[in-house]
Amino acid sequence: MLTRIDHIGIACHDLDATVEFYKETYGFEVFHTEVNEEQGVREAMLKINETSDGGASYLQLLEPTREDSAVGKWLAKNGEGVHHIAFGTADVDADSEAIRGKGVRVLYDEPRRGSMGSRITFLHPKDCHGVLTELVTSAPVESPEH
């Protein structure tokens, strides 16, 4: 089942300024950056620590690349801040189906590609006490990509 907090997603208007804040304030470094066209975001992953299951925990900073993206709409409604929490799992397919079987709405029929080659799906926030929840199966990480 779920093994760790994989990341906390934070929506922001200016990715570069937000990255700079986390670097200057907390000393966090960027581990990975990418643009996810499907989700309409530019993102930076800041590694916080390694975990006992071989994964890591991150802050994921998300800047929308278009206003009609999920993050763009969320920012327009809520402003900057915590967007979602993501839990790591060895098998996003099996765990999302098990959670769906407990009556929680899973937002994707099939997991999609996420950050750093991961496989992801989301759980409806109305079924998770107001928290948009992501399930993540990480891709094997060999070295940081920038």
Catalytic site residues? Answer: 7, 43, 60, 84, 134
Count the neighbouring beta carbons within 10 Å of the beta carbon of residue 96.
Answer: 25
134: which strand partners?
86, 122
Asked if residues 13 and 75 have their Cβ atoms less than 8 Å apart, the reply is yes
Alpha-carbon gap, residue 27 to 20, rounded angstroms:
9
Q: Which two tokens stand for residue 102?
A: 């407990």
44: which strand partners?
33, 61
